[in-house]
Structures are given as structure tokens and as C-alpha cells.
Amino acid sequence: MSGRLELDFSYFPGCSMATTAAESNMSLMKAARILGLNLIELEDWNCCGSSSAQTMCADLGTAMAARNLSLAPPGRPLVAMCPRCLHYLRSVQARLKNDPETRRDLEERWGRPIPLGLEIVHFLEVLVRYAPGRLQQNVKRSLKGLKFVPYYGCTVFRPPSLAREKYYQGEMENVLAILGAQPIVGAYTHRCCGSFLSATDPELVTPLVNEIVDSAVLAEAHCLVTACAMCQLNLEIRCNSMVKLPVFHFSEVLALALGAQDYEGWFARHLVDPRPLLKELALVA
Amino acid sequence: MNPPLPQEKTDGPMPEKTDAPMTIKPGERDRSLAAEVRSRSGTNFNCCFQCRSCGNGCPFIQAMDHPPNVLLRMVQYGMDREVLESETIWVCAGCHTCSSQCPMAIDLAGVMNTLRIMAMERGAAVAKPNILKFHEEVLGSLKRYGRAHKLGIMWRYKLKTRRWFSDMDTGLKMLAKRKLELRPSRVKAIKEIEDLFQHYWRKGK
């Protein structure tokens, strides 16, 4: 890392990345370190509010997301990896811009300002905005031969309340193509994975997940790469198709290409083991 | 000129339930439900021309009792009970496929969210009680730890819905892969979270 500028960001992991998708968090940290992107975890963050708080009590959901904003130090962008967290953090920030009363109430409660100008970005955006050159310089293991379906899920696909915000379509393909992988078109890329219905109504979600995975099989992809930790989990646990494809977190494939060696610990946590595929392509030993 | 919209309805009781088919007479229908949903969701759905794009794209349509476009029309007809007690509003996962496909840019997912909140405020019978229980358990976890503890949520959810053996293999596989943490990850300043629950939970404005 000698002689290279380190870029500082605040980082909001969220509940999934901190627990069920720990492998995504570990690989993200690894990739960021290699690229000289310093992701500083937001001190004592809480849940973004999630769909449940937003459904059960919108005011509580607003307050929970706002607390995270109040913890972010000024002067560096706040990065999220989970699309839902990103969505709630951004839409609450937008809501508070138009609701000075609630904002004042919350600020007085905590004695901390809520930064309305704070930039809230997805990690994909950090890559394409700050690090495209660094990607090319740091490829240690070309992903040549890896055919993947970029699976964004529903939420990075622009909820209407954020229609004027950054649009991430195509960014996974852009980044992974730089690293040598081959994006496959013709499969479902934005279909909803079932979200919380995977917990409450699995029999409803399984056929939908099968359709997504089957579409990738038909398109002759080797795997799916997801932008969302919850999608990754649902696509793995709810698929009961004859052919199951490995489902990677975007950060895992990224870190792998950047030369990470500690991948065993990530891939051991997958329900569909991706190691045979990676061995076949000679990407891992 | 459109007729003036009536005053917003406050959290009134649910209308009487009848088995008789509902007759809708144009010009006599009650517009107050539509007015309330419009103002609270910030979405003007009066431009809906029933093209059905929303329902055609919805991944969960087969689990809904009314497609989204029909539900919108029911809101316009003032069918409070049928709307607020529908399965549709609970099955909607908020994936926004409908909202992004609507040629009139109606945010249907936003309307569904408003309808769920209204259903709870008015004490409507919840057509998918297991989904409500799940949301309640997530909220319980947020209150206790400030973060979602999935094992705890699923454990309590199973306890409440008594679905012990459904889906057991998935849970065991996740445990074996250490995807379900035994111990919750916690917020240190949990007092701040408790304080938010105390002040904002269902206080309304």
C-alpha cells in the first residue's frame, strides 16, 4: 500500500452483514483493504429499521435509521453494502429534510446533529467512483472463464422514493468484467428473492427462487453474484431445483480476484459449496 | 372540475361486516378511504386506468386475494373492510416491481405500506397473522438488542405460530453452517433504543 492515498469512509454493516452474511463482511473488508479504501465501522450502529419497523410503525423506523445518521462523523461518506439498509438510511435522510420538527426532536434527544448533507453511498458506487484504476492495478487472480449472472434483487433497482438518486444498473458487470469475469445476460437479475416471506411462507418463495436459479442455469451461467446479503441467503436456502448453482456475495468474488487467500472461511459458510466450481476454473487451489 | 375531497377520516371503527354482495352506485360511493390513503401515502392513484401491469409483474400475485390494481379500485370504491382485511396488503414484500412497472408511476408498494399501517390502527382482522407475528418478533429483537437477532426471532416466531417442524431442515442447515448466531449482536447504548421505542412506538402524529 506504499505511497498510495488511503480513502476514509464510514461503514454501516447492518444486521445481516454482521451475522448471517459474515462471509460477505469479511470479504468486503479484505477487498477494501487491498484497494486502499478504509471502511471505518460506524461506532455502535443499530438496525436501520428494516421492513418490519417501517411496516409496524413508520415513526419508529425513521428514528432508528436517524440514530445511525447521527453517529456518522462529518467529512466522510457513509457506505452501506446491504441495499435495504441503504434504502432506509437514504429515504429517512430525505424525509428528515422535509420534517424539521422530528429532526429537532431527535437531535435534542441525543445531543447530536443529524447530518442532512451526509453522502450515503453503496459500496458499488464507491468502487466505480473512487477506485476504477485501483481495480485494474490489483488484479491478482483473473476471473477469466467465470460466467456469472449479476443478481441485483429488487432494492438497488430504484425504489420510487429515491428515483432521483444514483442508479446501480450494470455496475456489478462493469467491475467484474474489469477483473476478467464474463457477465451472462438473459437470466432474472432484478426479480424479488422473497424477502421476509422466505421466513414466513417458504412454500410461496421456493418456486420463485427456483425460477431465478433455473433462469441462470438456462443461460449457461456458472453462478450468480448478488448485490444483497438477504438475496444470497434466500437463493441458497430456498432453492430445491435439480441443478443448484453457487451464489456468491459480490464482495467474495471481488476479494478473490484481488488475491485474498483467506477464502476458505467464507466459502465453508455457503449452503451450496462454490469450491468445486472455483477449483474447476483453477481460481483456487 | 373534480368534486372537493371530503375531510380526512380519523381512526374510525371498521364498518359492519355483511355477507351480502356489495352494490356500488356511482356517485354515491364514499371517497374518504381514497382521500386518506392518497394523503398518507403521498401517492395519487386516481390516474390508474386498470392496465394490470402491476399484477402482471408481481412475483407474489398467486398468494394475494386481490391483484394490486383491483385493490386500488376497491380503495376508490370505499370498501374499507375488504381492503384492510385483505391478504394482499400483508403478502406484499415491498419489492417495488409494481411501482417501477406502472406506466402512470403510481407507487403501489407505498400504498400497500400505508394500508398495512391503517389496518393495524383500525384494528382490522389480519388476513396473514403469521406475517404480522414475524414483524412483531423482529421488532421485539430490535427493542431488546437494537439489532435483529435471527435465531431469537425465528425461535419466538415458531413458538407463537406453533410451526415447529415446518422448515426445520433449513434451520438446522443454517445452524450447521454457523449462519445463525447463538448470541445476539447488541447496541451498547441500548438506553437510546429503549427511549425511541418509548417515544415513537405507535404515538402517531
Indicate whether this complex's ipTM tops 0.85: yes
Mean pLDDT for all residues in chain B: 87
Of B147, B180, B200, the CB nearest to A59: B200
Contact A56 B188 (CB under 8 A): no
pLDDT at site A164: 65
Question: Does A106 share its domain with A40?
Answer: yes
Mutation site, B121, B128, B139, interface A, largest A CB count within 10 A = B139
pLDDT at site A50: 86
Average pLDDT over residues B52-81: 95
Residue A224, Ramachandran bin (φ over 0: left; ψ between -120 and 50: alpha; else beta): beta
- Which three three-digit cell numbers place residue A33? 483493504
Q: Does B61 touch chain A (CB under 8 A)?
A: no
Residue in this structure with the C-alpha cell 476454473, named with its chain if needed: A281
Of B120, B142, B188, the CB nearest to A53: B142
What is the span of the domain harbouring residue A113? 7-123
Question: Does A116 share its domain with A215?
Answer: no
Looking at the domain assignment, is residue A135 inside a domain?
A: no
pLDDT at site A104: 97
Q: Is A43 exposed, middle or buried (0-12, 13-18, 19+ CB in 10 A)?
A: exposed
Question: Does A64 share its domain with A173?
Answer: no
Of A15, A58, A208, the CB nearest to B148: A15
Looking at the domain assignment, is residue A219 inside a domain?
A: yes
Q: In terms of Cα–Cα distance, which of A75, A56, A53 is closest to A66?
A: A53
Of A47, A194, A197, the CB nearest to B146: A47
Neighboring chain B residues of A56 at a CB cutoff of 8 Å: 120, 135-136, 139
Neighboring chain B residues of A103 at a CB cutoff of 8 Å: none
Instruction: Reduce the DSSP state of residue B179 to 3 states and report it.
Output: coil
Mutation site, A12, A17, A20, interface B, largest B CB count within 10 A = A20
Q: How far is A153 from chain B (nearest CA, A)?
A: 9
Question: Does A110 share its domain with A38?
Answer: yes
Looking at the domain assignment, is residue A158 inside a domain?
A: yes
Q: What gap in Å lies between CA A134 and CA A138, rounded to an integer?
A: 6
Last residue of a domain, one of A91, A123, A155: A123
Last residue of a domain, one of A123, A151, A178: A123
Question: Does A83 share its domain with A189?
Answer: no
Question: Does A243 share its domain with A274?
Answer: yes
Lowest mean pLDDT among A39-43, A68-72, A168-172, A279-283: A168-172
Which residues neighbour A193 within 8 Å (Cβ) at sequence distance 6 or greater? A153, A154, A205, A208, A209, A212, A228, A230, A231, A234, A235, A238
Question: Does A144 share its domain with A270?
Answer: yes
Last residue of a domain, one of A92, A123, A154: A123
pLDDT at site B21: 74
Looking at the domain assignment, is residue A130 inside a domain?
A: no
Question: Does A192 share its domain with A106?
Answer: no
Cβ contact A89:A48 at 8 Å: yes
pLDDT at site A1: 45
Of A155, A159, A271, the CB nearest to B177: A271
CATH number at residue A243: 3.40.50.11810
pLDDT in tens, A124-161: 999 988 888 899 999 999 999 999 999 999 887 667 76
Question: Does A100 share its domain with A222?
Answer: no
Q: What gap in Å lies between CA A105 and CA B58, rounded to an integer?
A: 39
- For A60, the closest chain B residue by CA position comes to B200
- How wide is the angle at C-alpha A231 spanned by C-alphas A91 and A145, nearest 5°? 120
Question: Does A14 share its domain with A83?
Answer: yes
Question: Does A115 share its domain with A205?
Answer: no
Residue in this structure with the C-alpha cell 453522502, named with its chain if needed: A119
Contact B200 A57 (CB under 8 A): yes
pLDDT band at A163 (very low <50, low <70, confident <90, very high): low
Domains in chain A, number: 2
